[in-house]
Amino acid sequence: MQVLRPHSLLSQGDSENARKPPMHLASGVSGKCKKNKDRYMKRIIIWIFIILAVGFVLLLIFRKSIISEIAFGDFHPREPKNEIEVTYEIGWWSSQDELRVDSFTVKTIESKLNLFNSESLISYTTKGFLTGEKGWKPYIEKVHMSQRFIREYNRQLHPYLDKDTVKLPEAIIEITPIVQVTEDKNYNGEKIPYKFTNELKLISFHWGDNWLRIQCREKHEDIILQQRK
């Protein structure tokens, strides 16, 4: 008599079904994985939202500096440097006769004029000597500066200035070294040489050629700032 083993009583299909986990357990595992995935995606979306919100707030706070640095940072000149303090006020100038100006030169340091920039940086160098009375030593205290237009802007000349018929520049900047004296018993009235270089930031008047004169006493130099789009 042949003895049948228990597993031999099962069909092949029943054997496979026996190895599978129960349906309620499989659906439970699948649902748990889906919930974890959804929770993970929600966290990612929340962090993305937080990062975008912080970036937007920072952009609102620093928008001017960021835009200026990105768009105009390579065009605008640096701030000017001065060896002698500049003033725009007049005062008690009783020693100006002791001033002599031998040379006055103007140099363009930076002038990247375009659609986004209308500023240029120049320097001016003044050289000469001072003389004074015995016992009163002169020195240059400050530099006075005044700026003004000397002829009305004519659109018919813009942007090509006819220098044969127009003899005057559009504007003038006048530089005046201010002389003061200090009591000094060792000073006997000898000549005191001086030389200084200051810088100045200029702003164009209009599109095209901007004709400007810079003058110190009897000496002057003309420059043209070419404002292009």
| 143-153 pLDDT per residue, tens | 999 999 987 65
pLDDT at 158: 45
Domain map (residue ranges) of the chain: 14-72, 86-227
Backbone torsion region of residue 189, taken as left when φ is above 0, otherwise alpha when ψ lies between -120 and 50, otherwise beta: left
Q: How far apart are CA 119 and CA 97, in angstroms?
A: 35
pLDDT at 206: 92
Say if pTM beats, i.e. exceeds, 0.85: no
Could you say which residues of the chain have pLDDT below 70?
1-34, 63-74, 152-166
pLDDT at 155: 47
pLDDT at 93: 93
pLDDT at 174: 97
pLDDT at 151: 78
Give me 197's structure tokens: 């270089």
What's the CA dihedral at 107, 112, 118, 122 to 10 degrees?
-10
